Structure 1
Amino acid sequence: MFSRGSLLAGAATVALFLAASATPAGAAPAPFEISSPSPAVLEAMQRDLGLTSQQAITRLANEERAMTTESALSAKLGSTYAGAWLNGDASQLMVATSDAATADAIRAKGAQPVIVSRTLDQLNAIKDRLDQAPAEAKTGASLWYVDAPTNTVVILAAQPAATAALVAAAGADRNAVRVVASNEQPQPLIDIIGGNPYYIGSSRCSVGFSITKGSTIGFVTAGHCRVAANTTNPTGTFQAYSFPGHDYAWVAAASGNTVRPWVKGSGGTNVVVKGSTQAVVGASICRSGSTTGWRCGLIQQHNASVTYSQGTVTGLTRTSACAEPGDSGGSFISGSQAQGVTSGGSGNCSSGGTTYHQPVNPILSAYGLTLTTG
Structure 2
Amino acid sequence: MRLRLALRAAILASATLLPVTAIAQAAPDEPPSTQGQQLPAELVDAISRDLGLTPEQYLDRAELAQRLGSYADGLRQARPDTYAGSWIGHDGVPVVAVTTTETAQHVANDGYATKMAAVSANHLEDSLAQLNQWILGLPRDVSSQINSTSIDVMDNQIVIDVVNSPIGRALNLPTLLAQLKVVLSPGGGGPVDARAEGGDTYVTSAVPLDKIDDPASIGVCSLGFNAVASGGQAYNISAGHCDPQQENPNAGAASPVYLPDYGDVARSRQIGTFAHSAMGEQARGLDYSLIKLNDEGVRAGLDRPAVRGANGTTVTITGTARPVVGAPICKSGQTSTFTCGIVVAESVDAPLFMADGTSRLVRGFAGSTCTLSGDSGGAILSGTRALGITSGSNSGGAPSCTEANLVLALDGGTASIGIPIEKIIADANAALGQNVSVRTAP
TM-score (norm 1): 0.48
Rg comparison, structure with higher value: 2
Higher relative contact order, structure no. (Cα contacts within 8 Å, ≥ 6 residues apart): 1
TM-score (norm 2): 0.41
